[in-house]
Amino acid sequence: MRSDAMTRPVPHSARLSLAQPLRATSDPAGAAAGTDRPGEEVLRRLLELALALLALGFAAPLLVLAALAAAGPMLERQPRLGRHGRPFVVWRLRLRPGPCGRFLRLCRVDAVLECVNVLRGEMALVGPRPEAPAAAVERARWIPGWRARMAVRPGILGWAQLHGAVTQMHRSGAFAAARRMLAYDLDYIRNRSLALDLGILFAGLGRVVAGEEAR
């Protein structure tokens, strides 16, 4: 039985004005199949490697500051599931409360650490946010089609994240919030393109520069 989250498109009013607007579709199989074209995927990967290396280079002073501001051990391992459910590990910073910690969170230093996962091929710059294994298994039990969001590599920044759906789900834990996030993720996968990825990256960067929360 199909979920409403899989069959209805994301409301047009919630979408960003990107260079390539999303196409509404009711084909849930399209999410699992993806929309990659070989040449575009190679170009996407080269761009990911270049931007990830650039981000790590620019963030080096912030990582030094994070080491000084860390409470105890600097890094914490967190398991995640990647494309097709493959397990991998992301690293999170242990930051002390206070102005320094708030500044580093505002600069999204944790996201910079995920650039290491991008270099390793475990994550992409843009894609559905990765989940802890226990959370992914639990949601797959009660939300039809949940595993379809693992058809592509998880990303540092995602379409659902830009629209606040990830934060809403984590804060409320509600069934409706999880289905809303899934709808955005599947909408992104069906319409995935390099142009869309660049639009999402620029929108996310604009929020960081403006000091807005990366949701």
Report the distance separating Cα 117 and Cα 30, nearest Å.
26
User: Over 70: is that where the pLDDT of 181 sits?
Assistant: yes
Give tens-digit pLDDT for 107-144.
778 788 999 999 999 999 999 999 999 999 999 998 99
Give tens-digit pLDDT for 150-171.
999 999 999 998 888 887 777 7
Token pair, residue 36, equals 């990659």
Query: Of how many residues is the chain composed?
Result: 215
Half-sphere exposure of 14 (CA within 13 A, CB side): 16
Angle between helices 38-69 and 109-119 in degrees, nearest 10: 140
Do 158 and 127 meet the contact criterion of CB atoms below 8 Å apart? yes
CB atoms within 10 A of CB 191: 19
Q: Is 57 exposed, middle or buried (0-12, 13-18, 19+ CB in 10 A)?
A: exposed
Do 142 and 175 meet the contact criterion of CB atoms below 8 Å apart? yes
% of the chain residues with pLDDT over 90: 46
User: Over 80: is that where the pLDDT of 209 sits?
Assistant: no
CB atoms within 10 A of CB 26: 11
Token pair, residue 204, equals 């996310």
What's residue 28's pLDDT? 45
Q: Give the chain's end-to-end CA distance (angstroms, integer).
A: 31
Report the distance separating Cα 85 and Cα 80, nearest Å.
9
Do 194 and 44 meet the contact criterion of CB atoms below 8 Å apart? yes
What's residue 2's pLDDT? 40
